[in-house]
Structure 1
Amino acid sequence: MRGKALKEARRIHDELSQIDTIVSHVKRDWNEFVRTADDAYLKAVAYDLQGFYTGFERILESVADTIDDHLPAGEN
C-alpha cells in the first residue's frame, strides 16, 4: 500500500501544480478583461475555470480509485 500511496501523492502533486498554473492564467486573464472589456479574456477565464474544476475532479477520482480499487458508479 505504501508504494501505491506514494504514487498517488505524486499524481496529486502534479495535478495541483497544473491547477496552480491555471489559477495564474485566470488571474492574468481576468485582470486583462477588467482592463480592456475584451470578451476573449472572459472566455479564456471560463475555459480555465473548467480546467480548474476538472483538475480537482481528476484528483478525487484518482483517490477514490486508489483507496477502493474502483470508481463509484451511478447517480449517487
Structure 2
Amino acid sequence: MTARGDDLEPWAPEEHLPADARRMGLNSLVPDGALLELAGSLDGTKRSHRLVAWVLLVAMLAPVALTVLSLLR
C-alpha cells in the first residue's frame, strides 16, 4: 500500500485472503495464511485448479480418517 493507504503498489501481488483472515493477522508469510492464499487463488473453471483442490482436500482429510480408523480398532 502507499503511504496514504488507499492504492496498492503496482508491483504488489494480488491478495486472495478473506477479510476475516486479514483481520486476524494472517498473510502469505505464515503457513495457515499461505494455505488460505493458495486455496483462495484457485479458479473453479480450470481443470488443473479443481485437481489441486481435490488433492488439498484429500491431504486435509487423510490424517482425520487415519485417526478415526486407529480409534476404532
Shorter-chain TM range is: 0.3 to 0.5
TM-score, length of structure 1 as denominator length: 0.37
TM-score, length of structure 2 as denominator length: 0.38
In proportion to residue count, which structure has more helix? 1
